[in-house]
Structure 1
Amino acid sequence: MSIADRLERLSFSGFHYRLLFLGGAGYCFDGLDGAILAFVMPALQHLWGLSMAQLGLLGSGAFFGYFIGALSAGLVADRWGRRSVMMWALACYCVGSLVSALCMNWHGFVLARVVAGLGTGAESAIIAPYLSEFVPRRYRGVFTGALAGFFSFGFVGASLLGYALVPGSANGWRWAVGLTACPVVMLLWWRRALPESPRWLESMGRSKAAHSVLCGIEKSVGVVSPAYEPGAVTLERPSVGGQFARLWGSGLRRVTAMSWVLWLSVTFSYYAFFSWLPTLLIARGFTITHSFGFSIAICVAQIPGYFSAGFCNEYFGRKATVVTYLAAAMLSAVAMALVSSSGGILAAGMLLSFFMNGAFAGLYAYTPEIFPTVLRATGMGSASAVGRTGAIAAPLLIGALYPRAGFAGVFGLTALILLAGALSILIFGPSTVNRSLEEIGDAY
C-alpha cells in the first residue's frame, strides 16, 4: 500500500485537529502581525511626523521581507523539508516584532518590519502545503479553509489591541506591537513534536522515514500499519533554477501564471483595504476611537467569511468558491466607493471583509493542490511571494492615490483588481474537486 493510499484511508481524528490548531495558531499570529500595523500607523504618523508617502513606505516594509521569506521558504522546503522551515520562520518573526516595538525612529522600524516579514512570509507560504499533505481528499477543502480562517482571529485580536492600547498613551503602540510576538515562544515549543510530511519524504526517496512517520500517525488514530515495503527510489533534486524552470514548463505554465495573477490581485486588494482602513476612516472625518470601533466590526466579519468559504470549498469546489467570493467582494468594493453615510460605509466594509477573506480561504486550499508534491512548496511560495508584491505596492499606491482620487478612487481601483483575479481563475484554473493530490499532480 502506497504512502498516499495510507494517508487517504485515515479518518479525521485528534491528530488532524492538532495539526489544525498548531497550523492555525501560526496563521493567527501572521494575521495579527499583518493587521497590527494598520492600528499603529496613525500613532506613528503623529509621533514621527510622517508624510503619506513615508507612511506608505512604513506600511510596505514588512512585505519586502514577506516577499523574500515566501519565495525562499518554498524553495528550501521542497529541497530540505517543510517542518524546519516553519520553525525557523516563527523564530524570525518573533525577533523582528520585538525589535520593532523598541525602535526610536521610523527608519529602524521599517528595517525591523522587514525582518518580521521574512518570518511571516515563510510561515504563511509553508503551513498550507505542509499540512494539506496529511489530510485525505474528502476533508482537505474544509480543513485548509478552516486553517486559513485562523487569520481572522489575528485580525480581530489586532483590532482589539489597537483599540485598547494605542489611543490610551504615547507608548501604547509599543505595547501593541510587542504583545503580538510574545505567545509565539509557546507555539515554537508546541511544534517540536510535529512530524515531517510523509509525502515529501517519499518524494525525496526516503520511503523508510515516510513509513516510520506514518506508522506513528496510524497508531495514534488506531489503524494497523502494513509491513514496510521499500519502493524504487526515483529521487530527482533539481537546482534552484531548475525548480523555477519546472514551474514554467509546458505542463505547469498555465496554472503557475494563473496562480500568480490570482494571488497578486487578491493580496493587493486585501492590503489596500486593511492596511489603510483606520487611516482612511480618520481621513474621511471619523475620530480615531470611532475609526477603530468600525475597524473592529469590519475585522469581525472576517470570521464567518473564512469559515463559510471553508464549508463551500468542500461542497461546491475550491474554484467555484474563489470565483463567487471574489465577484461578491468586487460588488462590495463598488458599494464602498459609492456610499457616503457612516452606516453605509460600515455595512459595505463588513461585506467586503466577509467576501475578500472568504476568497482567501479558497485560495489557501486551492493553491497547494494544483502543484505536484516535489514542487508544491515552491509553487505556493512563489505565488504567495508574487502576491506580496501587491502587498508592497498597495500601501504605497494608496498613499499616492488617495489625495488625488479620494475614497471612491481607492475602492474603485480595488473593484477592478478583484475582477481581474476572478476572471483569471474562472478561465484558466483547473478543478480539484474530490481528487487526491497524486491525481492532480499526475495530470502534469
Structure 2
Amino acid sequence: MTPSTSSSVPAAPQAEHSLTRSQRLDRLPFTRKHGKLLGASGIGWALDAMDVGLISFVIAALSVHWGISKGDGSLIASAGFAGMAIGASVGGLLADRIGRRSVFALTLLVYGLATGGSALAMGVGTLIVLRFVVGLGLGAELPVASTLMSEFAPARIRGRVIVWLEAFWALGWILAAVIGTFVAASGPTGWRWALAVGLVPAAYSLVVRWGMPESVRFLEQKGRHDEAETIVRSFEETAEQSARGQTADGPSGTVGAEPAPGAAREASEASEATVRAAAPDAVGEIPQADTVESTGGIWSRALRRRTAGLWAVWFCINLAYYGAFIWIPTLLVERGFTLTQSFTFTLIITLAQIPGYAMAAWLIEVLGRRWTLTVFLTGSALSAIGYGLADSEATIIAAGCALSFFNLGAWGALYAIGPELYPTAVRGTGTGAAAAFGRIASMLAPFLVPVLVVAGGQTLAFVCFAIAFALAAAAAFTLPEQRGRALAQ
C-alpha cells in the first residue's frame, strides 16, 4: 500500500471505518506527541515524589532541631498518607466522571499550595493538618496520571511506557534527596526552605490543564465524539509526519491543544490505510482485551478476583516501602551517623532507583507484567532482609541500593498492570480504589516501625518488610497477564 501524501486523503473505501479510535491509537508508533504527554505527566509524577521524599528528611531534621518524638514524626507522615488514601479513592471516582486531565491538574494545585503552606507551620499540629491536605492531592494524582497515560500508549509497549512514567518517581525522589541533603540539613530553618519548593506544582498545574489532551476513551464514554476524533487525528498526523521525516507545526504538533468546535467534522475519517502509512511496522494484529463487564463495579463477578489481588499487592508494597523509606534517614541518625551523613547515604541509595526502573521497563514487555512484578517483589524481600542485617557503611549502602533497585522496579510494574485490569467506565475507580486501600498500609507503617524497632531492633522491622514483600509477590502472581492486549472498553 502506497503511503498517502496528506493526512486528509481518504482511505480506500473498503478500509474506511474498519478501526475504532482506540484501535487506531493502539496501532500507532510511539510519537513525539506521546513523548510530550509522557513528559507532562512525568513532571507531575516527579513533583509528587519530591514532596513524599522530602517529608522523610523534614522529619529527621525536626527530630534534631525541634526535638520531636517518634510519635510526632509518625503522625506527620501518617497524616499525609491518610489524605492520600482519601484522595486516591475520590480522585479515581472523579476521573471517571469529569475527566482524567481536569482531576490531574486539580490535584497538582491542591498539594502544591498545601506543601508551600507547610513551610510556614509554627507547630507540629499545623504541620499535621497541612500534610493531610497535601496527601489529598498526592493520592488522587498518581492513579489518574497512570490511567491517562495507559489510555494513550500503543498497546504493544503500553507497559513499558507506564514504567517510564513511574521512573519519573526516581527523579523526584533524587531531587528530594538533593534538597534534603543541601537545604533541609543546612540549619534550623532549612526544612522550611525545602518545603517551600513545593509551590512549584501549583504553577505547573496550569501548564497541565491547558497542555494535555483528555482521554479519548473517556470522551467517547461521555458522547464527546468530535473532540475524541480530533485528538486521535492529531496523533495520527504526527505519526505520518514523523514517518516522512517532517516536523509537525501548528495545533496538531501540540499535545493536548484544545480542539476547535466542529474540527473533527471537517477532517476525513481516519482509517486503517492512514495508520499503515504512519506505521507500517506497527499494524500487526493486537490481541483483544479480556471481555469484562463494568456492571456491578470493580467487585462484580468478572472483576472481583483481580481487584482482590491488586488490593493485596498495593497494601503489602505500601506497608514495606513507606515503612522503610520514610524512616531510613532517621534510623541512620539513630545508628550514630550525623544528619548530613544520613542524608548522603539516602541520596546514594535513591540513585539505585533509576536502573531498577530501566530493568523493569525492559522486562515488562519481555517477561510480561505478572512475572516482572513478582520477580521484583521477590528481590525486594531478599534485599529487605539484607538491609536489616547490614552492620557497616558498605553493607548498609549496598543493601539499601538493592532494596531501592527492586522496590522501585516493582512499583513501575504495579502502576502498569493496574489500569489494564479494568474497562474504561471503571478504570479510574479501580486504580484509585486499589491505591486508596494501599494507603491504609502507608498510614500504619510510620507507627509500626518505632514499635518493631523497640521490640527487636531494625533487623525485626526489615524482616517484617520482607514478609510483606513476599506476600505481595504471591498476590501479584494471581493477576491476569495483559501484555500486548488492547485495553478493555
- TM-score, normalised to structure 1, is 0.92
In structure 1, what is the equivalent of residue 112 of structure 2?
Answer: 94
Matched, 1:181 2:199: yes
In structure 1, what is the equivalent of residue 211 of structure 2?
Answer: 193
2:134 to 116, 128, 149: 116
Kindly indicate whether the alpha-carbon contact (under 8 Å) linking 1:22 and 1:187 is maintained by their aligned counterparts in 2. no
Matched, 1:41 2:59: yes
**Count of aligned pairs:** 426
In structure 1, what is the equivalent of residue 387 of structure 2?
Answer: 336
**Secondary structure at 1:195's aligned position in 2?**
coil
Kindly indicate whether the alpha-carbon contact (under 8 Å) linking 1:53 and 1:400 is maintained by their aligned counterparts in 2. no
In structure 1, what is the equivalent of residue 169 of structure 2?
Answer: 151
Q: Quick check: 121-130 or 219-228, which moved more?
A: 219-228
In structure 2, what is the equivalent of residue 62 of structure 1?
Answer: 80
Distance 1:191 1:21, change over 3 A: farther
In structure 2, what is the equivalent of residue 218 of structure 1?
Answer: 236
Report the structure, 1 or 2, having the larger helix content. 1
Distance in 1 between residues matched to 2:22 and 2:294, nearest whole Å? 23
Matched, 1:265 2:316: yes
Q: Describe how 1:28-427 pairs up with structure 2 within 5 A.
A: 28-182=46-200, 184-186=202-204, 188-222=206-240, 226-227=268-269, 245-426=296-477
Deviation at 1:189, TM superposition (A): 2.0
Deviation at 1:69, TM superposition (A): 0.8
Deviation at 1:200, TM superposition (A): 1.4
Deviation at 1:203, TM superposition (A): 2.3
Matched, 1:437 2:487: yes
What value does the CA root-mean-square deviation take over the aligned residues?
A: 1.9
Kindly indicate whether the alpha-carbon contact (under 8 Å) linking 2:294 and 2:423 is maintained by their aligned counterparts in 1. no
Deviation at 1:27, TM superposition (A): 0.9
Distance in 2 between residues matched to 1:402 and 1:243, nearest whole Å? 44
Distance in 2 between residues matched to 1:184 and 1:99, nearest whole Å? 12
Distance in 1 between residues matched to 2:463 and 2:131, nearest whole Å? 29
Deviation at 1:44, TM superposition (A): 1.5
Distance in 2 between residues matched to 1:193 and 1:42, nearest whole Å? 37
Distance in 2 between residues matched to 1:345 and 1:290, nearest whole Å? 12
Kindly indicate whether the alpha-carbon contact (under 8 Å) linking 1:48 and 1:105 is maintained by their aligned counterparts in 2. no
Q: Quick check: 124-133 or 180-189, which moved more?
A: 180-189
Deviation at 1:326, TM superposition (A): 0.5
Larger radius of gyration: 2
In structure 2, what is the equivalent of residue 234 of structure 1?
Answer: none
Distance in 2 between residues matched to 1:249 and 1:356, nearest whole Å? 31
Give percent identity, aligned residues only: 37
Distance in 1 between residues matched to 2:481 and 2:357, nearest whole Å? 20
Distance in 1 between residues matched to 2:362 and 2:382, nearest whole Å? 22
**Secondary structure at 2:159's aligned position in 1?**
helix
AA aligned to 1:136 is P
The superposition leaves residues 12-38 of structure 1 with CA deviations (integer Å, 9 ceiling, x where unpaired) of 110000011011101101110100011
Deviation at 1:401, TM superposition (A): 2.1
Deviation at 1:228, TM superposition (A): 7.8
Deviation at 1:222, TM superposition (A): 2.8
Deviation at 1:213, TM superposition (A): 2.2
Deviation at 1:350, TM superposition (A): 0.6
**Secondary structure at 1:408's aligned position in 2?**
helix
AA aligned to 1:252 is L
Q: Quick check: 199-208 or 330-339, which moved more?
A: 199-208
| Superposed structure 1 runs of 4+ greater than 6 Å apart | none
The superposition leaves residues 184-243 of structure 1 with CA deviations (integer Å, 9 ceiling, x where unpaired) of 5135325412111111111233333321222233233337975289xxxxxxxxxxxx98
Deviation at 1:267, TM superposition (A): 1.3
The superposition leaves residues 22-69 of structure 1 with CA deviations (integer Å, 9 ceiling, x where unpaired) of 111011011101000111112222343322112111111111111111
Kindly indicate whether the alpha-carbon contact (under 8 Å) linking 2:89 and 2:433 is maintained by their aligned counterparts in 1. yes
Distance in 2 between residues matched to 1:314 and 1:184, nearest whole Å? 35
AA aligned to 1:311 is W
Kindly indicate whether the alpha-carbon contact (under 8 Å) linking 1:326 and 1:355 is maintained by their aligned counterparts in 2. yes
Kindly indicate whether the alpha-carbon contact (under 8 Å) linking 2:109 and 2:205 is maintained by their aligned counterparts in 1. no
In structure 2, what is the equivalent of residue 232 of structure 1?
Answer: none
Listed as ranges, the gaps of 5+ residues in structure 1 are: 230-241
Q: Quick check: 76-85 or 145-154, which moved more?
A: 76-85
Deviation at 1:308, TM superposition (A): 1.4
**Secondary structure at 2:364's aligned position in 1?**
helix
Deviation at 1:245, TM superposition (A): 4.5
Deviation at 1:183, TM superposition (A): 5.3
AA aligned to 1:78 is D
Distance 1:244 1:435, change over 3 A: closer
Distance in 2 between residues matched to 1:188 and 1:402, nearest whole Å? 44
Q: Quick check: 53-62 or 292-301, which moved more?
A: 53-62
Deviation at 1:402, TM superposition (A): 1.5
Distance in 2 between residues matched to 1:102 and 1:321, nearest whole Å? 43
AA aligned to 1:301 is A
Distance in 1 between residues matched to 2:420 and 2:335, nearest whole Å? 42
Distance in 2 between residues matched to 1:191 and 1:143, nearest whole Å? 21
Distance in 2 between residues matched to 1:271 and 1:138, nearest whole Å? 32
Distance in 2 between residues matched to 1:381 and 1:186, nearest whole Å? 22
Distance 1:312 1:184, change over 3 A: farther
Kindly indicate whether the alpha-carbon contact (under 8 Å) linking 1:63 and 1:114 is maintained by their aligned counterparts in 2. yes
Distance in 2 between residues matched to 1:244 and 1:49, nearest whole Å? 53
Deviation at 1:390, TM superposition (A): 1.2
Kindly indicate whether the alpha-carbon contact (under 8 Å) linking 2:155 and 2:484 is maintained by their aligned counterparts in 1. yes
- TM-score, normalised to structure 2, is 0.84
Kindly indicate whether the alpha-carbon contact (under 8 Å) linking 1:89 and 1:118 is maintained by their aligned counterparts in 2. yes
